[in-house]
Structure formats: structure tokens, C-alpha cells
Structure 1
Amino acid sequence: MYDNKNCLTSAEIGCLWTMYMNDSMSKCILAFMLEHLEDEDVVEAVKHAYDISQHHLDVLADIFETANWAKPVGFQAEDVNLHAPWLFSDAFCLTYINHMAKVGMITYSGFVAMSKRNNIRGLFSEALVKTNNLFNETTEIAENKELHATHPFIEIPQETDYIESKDYYSGLNPLKQKRPLNAIEISHLYTNIITNTVGLKLSMAFAQTSQSKEIQDFLLRGKGISNKHIKIFTDILLENDIAAPRLPDLSVSDSTTHTFSDKLIMFHMSLLNSAGTGNYATAAAASQRTDLAVNYERLSLEIGQYAKSGVDIMIKHHWLEQPPGTKDREMLARKKE
């Protein structure tokens, strides 16, 4: 099916490797969710997500074999305890799938753009379509069950307008009144509140069920960062007489039973940190009020420092699988000598 007529490019190798790591992790999370879900509609959505991940892993295994490529370790059955007690509410599972589908759409669109071979572009294009369908499916279910967090409504513009002064971009001068938020700025603030809420709940669930104090401390630190960022973004909305988001009940149980391996937990947190940094960079570029852009840059630095401490833990415990790369030519030459 996948010929090796043309060599894989570095971009394609990197994208395929990333896809395998992410889907092998997702399969473990989704398999656990399927053991405890009750709502039939949510079960269907999670099963759909699980089938997508399994299909990707099957196709990737074929590509690795054809290319004579050592398959990544990723995550296996031993990284999840399917017999552990209930941990996530149905509402959380639905919101989680919806959120990860958003991350997937951004990721796969980038993979398509970076790929050269027709069959590889076809794989990522198919993944993009399926992930988009999953996002639409989970959004509709959430709407029907009144679990969807709707962005704030603002007045529909009745006429076009132009920016008349550089003051439109100001926001750092404490002696000047800040202009009202525009629709683009509101959308990014609201989105980042939702993503931080999902990260906060995951941090709580992982901290409760991890058996390592080092990992628990790391996760509780992440929970505190998410809480802080949610408050900052919410306060900005409230200053502009915009109601804070009405989020669904993303409940986490009080289970302390070992559920996911620490390796999987730390990888998942690294993935969330990367997605959060990307969200903040996009929001900073799109926000025309300088105080908002500075806020996003400042908070991105905090996420970066937190992510670095997570990477240090993963390296310490030999949990960080190395992505494919080039050989150190100087070292090869010296070994030969």
C-alpha cells in the first residue's frame, strides 16, 4: 500500500512520529473512558475517537514496516489501568474529546502543508477530515445536552469603521483608559479560559491518581498556573462587562487509584503545554491592545518554564522518547578514527 519509491522527508518523518506518539497516548485515555461512560451519545463520540486513533496506528505500522523504520515505543496497554475506578464525568469526557479534536485539526493541517509524498498527504488529509467530523459531532452533542460553552454575544455592527488613532493599540499606560475589547480579542480570551479549565481538571485527576510525590507536586503546580491564568483572562472580560464563561460541570471523582502511568501523564502534560503556548502565541499576534499581547507573552514564559521542569523529570526517569534526527557526523568520524 505504501511504497518506498521516494524517500520520506525530514518533515514527513517528524510528523509521522508525532502522530504515532499522540495516537498511542490517546488510545490509552479513550480506552479508559469507554470503561466507565454511561451516556450513550458520549459513548458513541468517544468510540469514534478511539477508532480514529486505532486506524492511524494501524496505517502507521504499515508505513514503518515498509520503510524499514524502527517503530516508536509510544504507549501500550501497561500505561493504563482499565480496572481503576471511575475518574472523569461524562461531561468532562465530551469536553475533552472536543478540545483534543481542536488541537488535532490544527496539528493535521500543519502536517498536510509540510508533507511532499502524495500518500503521506493523503493520510494527514484524511486525519484532518475525520478529526473535523469528530469536532462537529461532539459540538452537536454538547449543544443538545446544553453542555457547550458558548462564546459571548456582542452587538452586530451596523456600519463599517476605521481606526482613527494609534491609541487603539495602547493599553499599558495606567493613566489612560483602555478601549473596549474587540470581537477577536474576546474570542481568544474566552478560548484560553476553556483550554486552561480542561488542563486544570486533568492536572487534578492525574495528581490524585499518581503514586509519585514528584509528579504530584509538578501537577499541582500546573493546576495553580491554570487557575491563575483563568483568573487573569476572566478579570479582563469582567472589566469590559462581559460575563465569564458558563462552563459545563467537568467533574473529576475522588479516586486515588493508580490509573495512568507517570510516563503517559507527563507526556500528556507536555502536549497540553505545547498547545497552550501555541494558543497564546496566536492570541498575542491577533490582539491589538498592547496590554493583552504583553500578558500572553508573559504567561507563555511561565508555561515555558513549567514545561522545562516537566521535560527534566521525563529525562531523569528515561520517559522521554527521542524524535528521529540526523547523525552527529563529527562523532561518527571520530569513532572511525
Structure 2
Amino acid sequence: MEQQTTIEAQGTIQEIHHHAPLTSSEIAILWRTNVYYSMLECIYKHFLNTLDAPDLRPYIEDAISMFEKRVNRTSKILKKEGPIPKGFGDEDIDLGAPRLFTDLYYYYFTLNLARIGLQLGGMNLSHSVRKDVRDFYTEALMSTTRFYNRFSEIMLEKGIYIRPPITNIYKEADVIEKQNFLRGFLGERRPLLAEEIDQLFFGIRNNELAKALATGFLQVAKSEQVRAYMVKGVEIARKLKDILSSALQKENIPVSIQSGELVTDSTIPPLSDKLMMQNVVVLIGIVNYATSIASSLRHDLIVTYTRLIGEAVNYGEDGINIMIENGWFEEPPRKIDRRELAKEPVH
């Protein structure tokens, strides 16, 4: 009898666990994942339709397949417990439009996207509780990892992988004995730490890619309002890149740049203004200068990154306002407002 009761209790626990509703965190990340990958699916269909390099094609096809699976899977999970985002679709892409970016940009964009996928994948998994959600993000993280490793190899083989700076470091570990280790404004500054160089380098790369993206969108956007936003984006990305580059140049650390054009001269939009705005706003939201602050100990670098956060937040807010004004901003899931329900007439 006791054994039967235990089995029944275990069965009840399993049943409750299996049918547990999604948490607020899970709803949020599934929603974001769905919108994000439906956007990327459109962008990569344009890439696939316009690329020249034959060895790039299978990677773009693999990426599209991953995006489709993630959109379908998140839609399936969300369907049972709430609304599915409209996201983006065929109406947001013109497959007959000429290429807007070069193959070289496709390579850089895809590698950076894989890096972002690794960061988001780990964060999304850590916010997941229910088994089906954890299983989904575990597989997503694993597939992104496999893709990143394979794609890094092909870029290294082609000689287009831009490596972070190589610099001489002390061979033995030591402890800090003086408070001037943190100094960055007055007196003699210590040399940059390897971790600080790393954050500066990837900040530069992110802004290079953002500048090229905004430049391309500026050429093809139909709305004057969107074009003005892209002009501002180009200016901000150039300024932020210069600020970060100067920190490396002051210590004679070379700043690597790509060897080739990234944007074509096309003026025919392959993507809708709505999708282009979403892409830029999402890119701004993903760039995490807070991580750079946490990884930097010199005062001048902390102040610099704090400024960059302010620039990014203001620019991103302007973008969301434009999207709201044009009816392009899809509201993420939110808690029911019971004050509004109380105003509904009683039936």
C-alpha cells in the first residue's frame, strides 16, 4: 500500500511537472527567439539569393534551416499557452532585388551572428525551467556551437578571419600592490589588460559591422524618417569605433580592418523598412557594453563604456519610437492589467 501511494505521488509530480505553465522568463525568451529568427530567416534568404562564393552557400542554407526550425519550435510551444508573434515573412523581403552587401560582409555578419547566438543561447538556457524549453535551448546552443566552429574554420582557411590583437604579456602571475592600477585619467596609466584589449577589439568589430549595415539600409530605405535614422546610425557607429580604436592606438596596438568593400551601390530595397528598423534596433540591444564595463578595471575605460551605453540606449529608444509611430512594433507579452479588466462592463 505504501509503495502504491509512493508511485501515485511520483506520478502526480511528473504530471504536474509535464503540464507546468510557462514561466514569465520562458514566455519572454521564446517570444524574442521567434521574432529574432523570423527576421534572420528573411535576411538570409536574400543572402542566399545573391551570394557568389560557392563555398559559402551550404553555410547560408544551414543557417536558414536552423532559423526555420527555431521559429517553428517556439511557435509550437507558445501556441498552447499564448499568442504567437507575427514576426516577419514573405511580405518583408523582395527576392528579386539585387544584392545590397558583398560576400565579404556575408562572412563577417554570419560569424558575428554565430557569436551572438552563443551568448544568447547560454543566457536563454539559464532562464529555462520546463524540460521541453530546456531541451530546445540546449539543442539550439549545441547546433550554434557546431556551426560557429565550422564557419570559423572556413574563414581561417580563406584568410579572411580578423583575429584579435596579439601582444606580449608577462610570463608569471603577480598580485596588485598599488591603487594606481585602476588609474586612467591622472598620472601614468598602466598598460591595457588582455581582457580589456579583447573587449575593445570586439567593440570595434561590432561597430564596423553596424556602420556597414546602416550604410546599406540608408541607400535603400523608402521612408525619409528611416533614412534619417540610418544616417544617425552611421555617424554613431563611426564615432564609437573611433573612440574604442584610439584606446588601442595609444598603446601602439594595431586595429585590424577588413580588406574589401562590404556594401554595394544598390538602391533597390531587398527588405522592408519595418525589417530593417527591427534589425538595427535588435543589434543595438544585443551589443552589451555592460559586459565591457565589468571586464575593464581602468577608470578611463569604464567612463568610456558608460558613455557608449548612453548613446546606444538613446539611439535604440529613437528607433522603437519610429517603429511604434509606423505601426511596426509588435508588443511583447505582458502581464494582464487587472485595473483595465475592472473597467470592463459586467455582463
TM bin, normalised by shorter chain, reads: over 0.9
Match of 1:271 in 2: 282
CA contact (8 A) 2:22 2:81 kept: no
Equivalent AA in structure 2 for residue 115 of structure 1: S
Equivalent AA in structure 2 for residue 200 of structure 1: K
Q: Deviations over 1:243-283 (max 9, x none)?
A: 1123242521000002111110111111111112x1x1101
Match of 2:11 in 1: none
CA contact (8 A) 1:12 1:116 kept: yes
Match of 1:196 in 2: 207
The one of 65, 71, 76 aligned to 1:51: 65
The one of 274, 277, 291 aligned to 2:300: 291
Match of 1:101 in 2: 114
Match of 1:308 in 2: 317
Q: How much does 1:156 deviate?
A: 4.4
Match of 2:139 in 1: 126
Task: Give the 3-state SS of the residue equivalent to 2:72 in structure 1.
Answer: helix
CA contact (8 A) 2:21 2:81 kept: no
State the TM-score, normalized to the length of structure 2. 0.92
Task: Give the 3-state SS of the residue equivalent to 1:326 in structure 2.
Answer: coil
Task: Give the 3-state SS of the residue equivalent to 1:100 in structure 2.
Answer: helix
Q: How much does 1:4 deviate?
A: 6.7
Match of 1:63 in 2: 77
Match of 1:239 in 2: 250
Match of 1:72 in 2: 85
Where do 5+ consecutive residues of structure 2 fail to align? 1-16
State the TM-score, normalized to the length of structure 1. 0.95
Task: Give the 3-state SS of the residue equivalent to 1:323 in structure 2.
Answer: coil
Equivalent-residue separation in structure 2 for 1:250 and 1:16 (angstroms) = 36
Match of 1:113 in 2: 126
Shift of the 246–169 alpha-carbon distance from structure 1 to 2, 3 Å rule, reads same
Aligned-CA RMSD value: 1.4
Equivalent AA in structure 2 for residue 328 of structure 1: D
The one of 308, 315, 326 aligned to 2:335: 326
Task: Give the 3-state SS of the residue equivalent to 1:325 in structure 2.
Answer: coil
Task: Give the 3-state SS of the residue equivalent to 2:78 in structure 1.
Answer: helix
Q: How much does 1:113 deviate?
A: 0.8
The one of 40, 50, 58 aligned to 1:26: 40
Does 2:169 correspond to 1:160?
no
Q: How much does 1:118 deviate?
A: 0.7
Equivalent-residue separation in structure 2 for 1:333 and 1:111 (angstroms) = 35
Q: Using the TM superposition, name which of 107-116 and 239-248 deviates more.
A: 239-248
The one of 238, 244, 262 aligned to 2:273: 262
Equivalent-residue separation in structure 2 for 1:143 and 1:248 (angstroms) = 14
Which of 1 and 2 has greater Rg?
Answer: 2
Q: How much does 1:289 deviate?
A: 0.4
Match of 2:228 in 1: 217
Q: How much does 1:146 deviate?
A: 0.9
After TM superposition, the structure 1 = structure 2 runs for residues 3-42 of structure 1, keeping only pairs within 5 Å, are 5-42=19-56
Does 2:168 correspond to 1:150?
no
Equivalent AA in structure 2 for residue 334 of structure 1: K
Equivalent AA in structure 2 for residue 40 of structure 1: P
After TM superposition, the structure 1 = structure 2 runs for residues 80-91 of structure 1, keeping only pairs within 5 Å, are 80-91=93-104
Does 2:190 correspond to 1:179?
yes
Q: How much does 1:126 deviate?
A: 0.6
Equivalent-residue separation in structure 2 for 1:96 and 1:42 (angstroms) = 12
Equivalent AA in structure 2 for residue 210 of structure 1: A
Q: How much does 1:180 deviate?
A: 1.0
CA contact (8 A) 1:24 1:75 kept: yes
Equivalent AA in structure 1 for residue 76 of structure 2: D
Q: How much does 1:335 deviate?
A: 1.9
Q: Deviations over 1:173-220 (max 9, x none)?
A: 2xx122111101100000100010110000011111111111011001
Q: How much does 1:336 deviate?
A: 4.0
CA contact (8 A) 2:195 2:295 kept: yes
Shift of the 39–6 alpha-carbon distance from structure 1 to 2, 3 Å rule, reads same
Equivalent-residue separation in structure 2 for 1:157 and 1:129 (angstroms) = 35
Equivalent AA in structure 1 for residue 301 of structure 2: L
Equivalent-residue separation in structure 2 for 1:4 and 1:268 (angstroms) = 36
Shift of the 135–328 alpha-carbon distance from structure 1 to 2, 3 Å rule, reads same
Where do 5+ consecutive residues of structure 1 fail to align? none
Equivalent-residue separation in structure 2 for 1:100 and 1:249 (angstroms) = 20
Q: How much does 1:63 deviate?
A: 2.0
